[in-house]
Structure 1
């Protein structure tokens, strides 16, 4: 288990989520736990709370997990997934208001340096338009 902050990518499109995760892995290698989820259970566009919970578990680190989302529904379902975690885990999971690809890459680079969850989130969110 990594001691670096984990990254979860949630997209309505499984191809977008997988592609963003692939970029992160190519940039930081195995230094950061990365998981992705996308699409609904029927194979179409959408997101799934159980899949998001599974991705959080896959990328889990005691340092926390930063979630990056593409659209409003992904954010809403990610919020519901976090609410369903036990209280100890909830306090170590954040949703970043950042572009999904660029945010994931910069968040992972920051996480790979051993940065705290707060700093990983702050760094990713610096990419958001003001």
Structure 2
């Protein structure tokens, strides 16, 4: 079973940009970007997130879900509550660094627990 990384951002451009960056580092990984509202504004779209998660799960994948800001966590938790037994983990990690770590780890065939763990380690990366 593979792991798909789903990125939920308030901005479609941010979601796509982070997905592009992470995807270039691990082209074999599956990354789905979900960003903005259905009408193109800033915000989150629970229906779009649910479609992305269901797409990955229906393909037989587990899902590592990373979110950008606080209200995206609420959207994610609401969607996940409706997907009772789906193999999905909401990842507690910085959005960009966590996404890169998750995608790279998923690309080498690691399972969901390892992808989540590696993404979480990104929280402790020092930049200065």
- What is the TM-score normalised by the length of structure 2? 0.88
Distance 1:62 1:126 in 2: 26
1:52 is displaced (CA, Å) by 0.6
Q: Confirm or deny that 1:48 pairs with 2:45.
A: yes
Q: Which residue of the partner structure matches residue 117 of structure 2?
A: 122
Distance 1:111 1:70 in 2: 20
Q: 1:77 aligns with which of 75, 78, 82?
A: 75
Q: Report the 3-state secondary structure (helix = DSSP H, G, I; strand = E; otherwise coil) of the residue aligned with 2:23.
A: helix
1:63·1:117 contact (CA, 8 Å) conserved in 2?
no
Distance 1:75 1:126 in 2: 19
Q: Which residue of the partner structure matches residue 38 of structure 1?
A: 35
1:71 is displaced (CA, Å) by 0.3
1:58 is displaced (CA, Å) by 3.1
Q: Report the 3-state secondary structure (helix = DSSP H, G, I; strand = E; otherwise coil) of the residue aligned with 1:20.
A: helix
Q: Report the 3-state secondary structure (helix = DSSP H, G, I; strand = E; otherwise coil) of the residue aligned with 2:122.
A: coil
1:63·1:116 contact (CA, 8 Å) conserved in 2?
no
1:99·1:128 contact (CA, 8 Å) conserved in 2?
yes
Q: Which residue of the partner structure matches residue 63 of structure 2?
A: 65
Q: Confirm or deny that 1:88 pairs with 2:88.
A: no
Task: Name which of structure 1's ranges 58-67 and 95-104 shifts more when overlaid on structure 2.
Answer: 58-67
Distance 1:25 1:105 in 2: 8
Q: 2:11 aligns with which of 10, 13, 20?
A: 13
Q: Report the 3-state secondary structure (helix = DSSP H, G, I; strand = E; otherwise coil) of the residue aligned with 1:45.
A: coil
Q: Report the 3-state secondary structure (helix = DSSP H, G, I; strand = E; otherwise coil) of the residue aligned with 1:40.
A: coil
- Superposed CA RMSD in Å reads 1.7
Distance 2:85 2:113 in 1: 16
1:127 is displaced (CA, Å) by 1.4
Which runs of 5 or more residues in structure 1 are unaligned? none
- What is the TM-score normalised by the length of structure 1? 0.87
